[in-house]
């Protein structure tokens, strides 16, 4: 965090900017209060830049519109019923909202919209003290009735007023607490965390879409692990992502110093480190991060104790892929995200057979074929899945994967296997065999694809000869 003096300088710079100065002057001339609020004030203390600027005022929506319209390049009033007018002023996007004094009925997180007359009361209804600060304009007076600056200095997440009331009114704030824990690197105040644990069941009144959105925002932070831990420790994860706390009950046979839960959190962090360092991967990568978090969720269901007390998790990759798909569907994630994550979970163990014996070129081609457009992510997930403290074992696995990637690159260069296809397409198969679209064409296509994977490119003439021979000898 920057010093308070540096933060004041940043706030002064915002206040001096043409859009803010014009707005402050216009609202003052109209006899209304105006204050900069929210993330832009908080981020000034954190030394971070903010994009859009949020303001609050005692002016009602119609008055806001009348004041802003002469200054704005464009105005949007779709939020008028909630007291919000959005505009672009001298190229700067702004939102100006009437003071709110909302009330909740306890059955929904959507409040009954009520306008207020006090800046302090408006700040009290905000989620956390670090977001409940304002810079009153044009006086440039910092308004901080709930100790937001102190909590920024301490690195603490706390609510204005009683957390039980705040979370009772809007349970989604508990999810945001987890996100801010990771996003800001802060710690949740003890009374706030206790309230999260007590009120965790209230999250069920929040729409799945909003919960899913907060989970994804958490996963996109630089280090999602603190937020994940908070969700698990407070019982929220048991309600929104139960497969993750279930991992605490198992032991990982590959890393006896950690249970599967701790192993998973390590994999998430290692995957993010590799994601940021690896060319060709856009960071942050939500699909990769979800795959890292969910890659072992099949273990609780497949845990078996064999003779001698050996613990096994046979087929946890296949089971885990199904569970990941089911959970992400329940969270209403996009279908392409669901299929990609499930595919990565299903394939995350495939490489470990590579160290048991030399793979043929055919096996390498099939690895690439099965990964498809998830190959780069699979490279990262597989490397991140190595969490052993045995340096010799870790080095052996790393060198083996280096070798596999080198072989993939060499075969791709020689054969172009990035997208493996047979030497003949469906139309050519039908022409050669005199078939019409149907099951037999699919079987012929699979035969040629298997040839391509086993032997590499054959060329159209050899592929046709082999196809005709296969078709003649298959009993037709």
Q: Which CATH number belongs to the domain containing residue 76 in this structure? A: 3.30.460.10
Instruction: Verify that 320 and 426 share a domain, yes or no.
Output: no
Task: Say whether both 194 and 105 belong to one domain.
Answer: no
pLDDT score of 337 more than 60: yes
CA-to-CA separations, 10 to 1, 21, 120, 385, 428, in angstroms, rounded: 13, 14, 23, 42, 67
3-state secondary structure 93-136: EEEEEECECCECCCCCCCCECCECCCHHHHHHCCCCHHHCCEEE
**One domain, residues 449 and 375:** no
Higher confidence at residue 155 or residue 446?
155
Total residues belonging to the chain: 476
- Same domain? For 386 and 446 the reply is no
Domain co-membership, 83 together with 135: yes
Is the pLDDT assigned to residue 251 strictly greater than 60?
no
Look at residue 414 and tell me if it is in a domain.
no
What is the distance between the alpha carbons of residues 250 and 373, in angstroms, rounded to a whole number?
32
- Least confident range from 36-45, 80-89, 432-441: namely 432-441
Residue 38 CB burial class (10 angstroms; 0-12, 13-18, ≥19): buried
Q: State which residues form the domain around 340.
A: 167-409
Does residue 376 sit in the same domain as residue 306?
yes
Average pLDDT of the chain, as a whole number: 89
Q: What is the DSSP letter of 188?
A: E
Last residue of a domain, one of 387, 409, 431: 409
Q: The whole model's pTM is what?
A: 0.83
Yes or no: say if 24 and 11 are a contact pair by the CB < 8 Å rule.
Answer: no
* Per-residue confidence band for 256, with pLDDT thresholds at 50, 70 and 90: very low
Q: Is residue 394 located within the same domain as residue 463?
A: no
d(CA 447, CA 79): 59
Look at residue 161 and tell me if it is in a domain. Answer: no
Q: Which two tokens stand for residue 257?
A: 């110093």
Query: Do 32 and 53 reside in the same domain of the chain?
Result: yes
How large is the greatest C-alpha to C-alpha distance in the chain, in angstroms? 92
Task: Give the CA radius of gyration of the chain.
Answer: 29
Percent of the chain exceeding pLDDT 90 equals 60
**Does residue 285 belong to any structural domain of this protein?**
yes
Claim to verify: residue 61 and residue 207 sit in the same structural domain: no
Domain CATH number, residue 208: 1.10.3090.10
Helix axes 335-347, 375-384, angle to 10 degrees: 50
From 66, 60, 102, 101, select the one nearest 84 (Cα to Cα): 60
What confidence score (pLDDT) does residue 422 get? Answer: 82
Strand partners, 137: 34
Say which residue, 451 or 145, is predicted with more confidence: 145
Judge whether 431 lies within some domain: yes
pLDDT at position 109 over 70: no
My answer on whether 257 and 113 are in the same domain is no
Structure confidence by residue, pLDDT tens digits, 364-413: 888 888 888 899 999 999 999 999 888 888 888 888 888 888 888 887 77
Residues 243 and 298 in one domain: yes
For residue 114, give the nearest of 133, 89, 130, 97 by alpha carbon. 97
Residue 159 lies in a domain: no
Summarised one tens digit per residue, pLDDT across range 182-237 is 999 999 999 999 999 999 999 999 999 999 999 999 999 999 999 999 999 999 99
- Residue 143: inside a domain: yes
Mind listing the pLDDT tens digit for each residue in 421-476?
788 888 888 998 888 888 888 888 888 888 877 777 788 888 888 888 888 887 65
Boundary residue ending a domain (369, 388, 409):
409
**Residue 290 vs residue 417, higher pLDDT:** 290
Residue 64 has pLDDT above 80, yes or no: yes
Domain total of the chain: 3
Clarify whether residues 103 and 223 are in a common domain. no
Residue 401 falls within a domain, yes or no? yes
Closest to 303 measured CA to CA, from 320, 278, 321, 282: 320
Cβ(189)–Cβ(157) below 8 Å: yes
Among 384, 409, 434, give the residue marking a domain's end. Answer: 409
Q: Per the domain annotation, does 9 fall within a domain?
A: yes
Range name among 124-133, 135-144, 206-215, 311-320 with the lowest pLDDT average: 311-320
| Over residues 138-160, mean pLDDT | 95
């Amino acid at each position: 965090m920057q010093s308070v003096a540096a933060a004041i300088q940043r706030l002064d710079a915002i206040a001096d900017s043409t859009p803010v100065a014009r707005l402050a002057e216009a609202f003052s001339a109209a006899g209304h209060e105006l204050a900069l609020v929210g993330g832009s004030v908080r981020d000034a203390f954190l030394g971070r830049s903010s994009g859009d600027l949020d303001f609050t005022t005692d002016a009602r929506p119609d008055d806001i519109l009348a004041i802003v319209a002469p200054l704005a390049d464009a105005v949007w009033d779709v939020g008028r019923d909630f007291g919000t007018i959005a505009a672009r002023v001298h190229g700067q996007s702004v939102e100006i909202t009437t003071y709110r004094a909302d009330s909740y009925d306890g059955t929904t997180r959507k409040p009954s919209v009520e306008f207020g007359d006090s800046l302090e009361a408006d700040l009290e209804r905000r989620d956390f003290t670090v977001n409940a600060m304002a810079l009153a304009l044009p006086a440039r007076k910092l308004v901080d009735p709930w100790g937001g600056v102190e909590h920024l200095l301490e690195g603490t997440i706390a609510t204005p007023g009683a957390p039980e009331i705040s979370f009772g009114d809007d349970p989604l704030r508990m999810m945001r607490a987890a996100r801010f824990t990771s996003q800001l690197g802060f710690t949740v105040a003890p009374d706030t965390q206790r309230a999260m644990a007590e009120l965790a069941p209230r999250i069920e009144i929040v729409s799945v879409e909003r919960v899913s959105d907060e989970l994804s925002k958490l996963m996109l932070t630089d280090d999602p692990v603190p937020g994940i831990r908070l969700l698990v420790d407070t019982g929220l994860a048991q309600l929104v992502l139960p497969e993750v706390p279930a991992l605490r009950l198992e032991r990982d046979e590959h890393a006896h110093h950690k249970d599967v839960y701790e192993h998973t959190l390590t994999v998430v962090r290692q995957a993010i480190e590799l994601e940021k360092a690896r060319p060709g991967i856009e960071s942050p990568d939500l699909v990769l991060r979800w795959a890292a978090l969910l890659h072992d969720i099949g273990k609780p269901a497949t845990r078996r104790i064999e003779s001698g007390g050996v613990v096994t998790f046979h087929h946890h990759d296949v089971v885990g892929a199904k569970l990941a798909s089911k959970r992400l569907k329940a969270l209403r994630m996009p279908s392409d995200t669901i299929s990609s994550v499930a595919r990565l979970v299903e394939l995350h163990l495939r490489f470990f057979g590579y160290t048991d014996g030399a793979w043929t070129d055919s096996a390498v081609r099939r690895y690439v074929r099965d990964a498809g457009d998830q190959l780069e992510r699979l490279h990262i997930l597989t490397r991140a899945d190595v969490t052993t403290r045995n340096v010799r074992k870790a080095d052996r696995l790393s060198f083996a994967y280096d070798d596999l990637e080198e072989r993939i690159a060499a075969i791709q260069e020689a054969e172009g296997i990035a997208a493996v296809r047979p030497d003949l397409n469906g139309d050519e198969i039908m022409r050669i065999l005199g078939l019409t679209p149907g099951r037999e064409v699919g079987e012929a296509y699979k035969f040629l694809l298997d040839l391509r994977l086993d032997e590499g490119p054959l060329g159209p003439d050899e592929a046709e000869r082999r196809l005709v021979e296969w078709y003649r000898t298959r009993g037709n």
